[in-house]
Amino acid sequence: MNLKRTCLLSFELFFLGLIKKFNKKKIVKGFTTNPSLIRKAGARDYKSYCKKILKACPEKPISFEVFADDHKNMINQAYILNSLGKNVYVKIPFCNSKGNFCGKIIKELNKKNIKLNITAVYSSSQTKKILKNINKKSKVIISIFAGRSGDTGLDPIPEFKKSLSLCKNYKNVEILWASVREPYNYLQAKQLGCHIITVPPSIIEKIEKFGGTFYQLTLDTVKTFLDDSKKSKFKI
């Protein structure tokens, strides 16, 4: 099964120069951000920086995340971010920092036909809770963090399979493979049937070079060893 969107560029999406560069690539079908990335960009005004990103990419889908931690302010920020452009998806975390599920917020915004990207999701049980709070019309992305799960020794693959199965009757819902660790994750997401995968620039460049054989890899590796030993002028 092919990915509906080949890649949704993520992570290093905080420098405007990178956005402009990768926006030209056919493999990149959209962008996503979060407060941490925008902070790394040195932005002091969140809304103004979001506007700069939209100016650099006025058509492809872009996800902007709320950073408030309470119901009222999360809702207010969601409306503001949504008003910035028709291509905006508003990112809402699965829960706030106190562990309270953001179901009511998701439900309210979904009813208003605001495109949502539900982030910081790790399990199919969380996916199930999200689905109970949305309709089958308004667009929703569910971002499941594969890499961070793997970092702790947890296998994310079963959670993706279960989540994809739960969403099969929701034509408006897309499952996103988030937290990429290596180029092969792209193929894993594709094989699973994920709709989107967020990929940092360094990995996109490797994906674009996919191909070759095991023999060629062996040859390239041996040549690298030989080249390094010559440069070091090793002797035994």
Domain count, the chain: 1
Residue 221 lies in a domain: no
Whole-number pLDDT of residue 201: 83
Range of the domain at 19: 7-211
Contact (Cβ atoms closer than 8 angstroms) between residue 118 and residue 142:
yes
Whole-number pLDDT of residue 209: 84
Contact (Cβ atoms closer than 8 angstroms) between residue 108 and residue 75:
yes
Residue 1 lies in a domain: no
Full-model pTM: 0.90
The residues near 116 (Cβ < 8 Å, ≥ 6 apart) are 89, 90, 91, 92, 106, 109, 110, 134, 138, 139, 140, 141
| Measured distance CA(24)–CA(204) in Å, rounded | 13
CATH code for the domain in which residue 120 is found: 3.20.20.70
| Measured distance CA(39)–CA(76) in Å, rounded | 20
Residue 220 lies in a domain: no
The residues near 19 (Cβ < 8 Å, ≥ 6 apart) are 13, 31, 53, 56, 57
Q: Which two tokens stand for residue 3?
A: 């990915």
In tens digits, the chain (236 residues) has pLDDT values of 345 554 454 444 557 888 888 888 888 889 999 999 889 888 899 999 999 999 999 999 999 999 999 999 999 999 999 999 999 999 999 999 999 999 999 999 999 999 999 999 999 999 999 999 999 999 999 999 999 999 999 999 999 999 999 999 999 999 999 999 999 999 999 999 999 999 888 888 888 889 889 999 999 999 999 999 999 999 99
Ramachandran category for residue 179: left, alpha or beta (phi over 0 → left; psi -120 to 50 → alpha): left
Whole-number pLDDT of residue 4: 53
Residue 224 lies in a domain: no
Residue 178 lies in a domain: yes
